[in-house]
Chain A
């Protein structure tokens, strides 16, 4: 069965420092991977995706993610964190078990950026 794991419940970073939010996946075929961000009382916002091609994927708000097939990881990164980046981040993988590709989400990682 397809799954994603986000090993950290919370990540704390000082403003201006680089940030990494970790994600590992388990899929039966080629992984289609996604990152979403959720602000309080709001829906999920799409940040970026990996389907194929370059292992380094760039997305919205200065975020990027690195796909690593050998480590089955898809970590989210940003060179310089902002206080406004504080939110809940979800990694997701396309479900090959379903017929039309619904997403399977991790439990989320709370990112806290302090001034």
Chain B
């Protein structure tokens, strides 16, 4: 078990460019979550997958954001036409359904800076 991994760890982009982040969950975990964390705040939920199905999206997830989990394993989060307000840490988490298994395990995050 190598934990949740995210790539890249840091991304600097110019306003208007598209960016894509990748998350690899813990291998046996069927649930995958994306959160966004800004300075001085706790993580805020963006979207959630169970296996390959995207089951829930936050109102924070504007039309410029899209997420996929094509084979129920890794996931990608794409931001189109980035804005300065998109600058944040993007966190991925995974969990396993089962009795008492409600905790989520987080990756190290991708820090996005939009200039």
Contacts and interface: CB of A to CB of B under 8 A. Distances in A.
Contacts of A99: 55-56
Nearest to A43: B106
A107 B42 contact: yes
A78 to B, nearest CB: 19
Nearest to B44: A105
Contacts of B50: 100
A104 interface: yes
Nearest to A47: B103
A46 B103 contact: yes
Interface in A74-115: 90, 92, 94-95, 98-108
Contacts of A68: none
Contacts of B6: 43
Nearest to B91: A43
Contacts of B56: 98-100, 102
A34 interface: yes
B43 interface: yes
B96 to A, nearest CB: 12
Nearest to B108: A43
Contacts of B98: none
Contacts of B106: 36, 43-46
B45 A42 contact: no
B85 interface: no
B74 interface: no
Nearest to A102: B45
B4 A43 contact: yes
B91 A44 contact: yes
A100 B31 contact: yes
Contacts of B55: 99-100
Interface in B57-100: 91, 93, 100
A94 B102 contact: yes
Contact of B103 (A42, A49, A105): A49
23 contacts: A42-B108, A42-B109, A43-B4, A43-B91, A43-B109, A44-B43, A44-B93, A44-B106, A46-B105, A49-B102, A51-B102, A90-B43, A99-B56, A100-B48, A100-B56, A101-B102, A102-B33, A102-B56, A103-B33, A103-B43, A105-B44, A107-B41, A108-B41
